[in-house]
């Protein structure tokens, strides 16, 4: 992970990174979504990322749980494609 963090830092010198007590390195997902991928405010149908805070998923109308899940996958895949790391979800899904 340290090698991957070093490569990210070389590619994006301003990227915020944080060390953890276990020795892992965490990078700022909000920074990546906003500054690298320009996803703030992006919307697919009735679901999207909030224009004032890129880490907030918003249902703009009648998006189903499946649509929200699909959009979250789109965001995760975009990050993975750009930086080689798939973000961990900060929520637990219940049911289908």
Q: Which of 16-20, 28-32, 44-48, 91-95 has the lowest mean pLDDT?
A: 91-95
**Whole-number Cα distances in Å, 73 to 11, 19, 25, 52, 61:** 24, 26, 23, 21, 19
Pick the CATH number of 2-83 from 3.30.300.30, 3.90.78.10, 3.40.50.10490, 1.25.40.10: 3.90.78.10
At residue 42 the predicted structure's pLDDT band, cuts being 50, 70 and 90, is very high
pLDDT for 96 beyond 60: no
pLDDT for the residue numbered 1: 60
* pLDDT for the residue 30: 93
On whether the pTM is more than 0.85, the answer is no
pLDDT of 27 strictly over 60: yes
């Amino acid at each position: 992970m340290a090698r991957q963090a070093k490569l990210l830092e070389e590619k994006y010198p301003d990227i915020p990174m944080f060390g953890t007590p276990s020795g892992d390195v965490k990078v700022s997902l909000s920074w990546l979504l906003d500054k690298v991928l320009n996803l703030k405010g992006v919307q697919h149908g009735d679901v999207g990322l909030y224009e004032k805070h890129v880490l907030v998923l918003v249902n703009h109308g009648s998006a189903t749980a499946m649509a929200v899940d699909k959009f979250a996958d789109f965001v995760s895949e975009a990050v993975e494609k750009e930086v080689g790391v798939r973000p961990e979800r900060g929520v637990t899904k219940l049911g289908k």
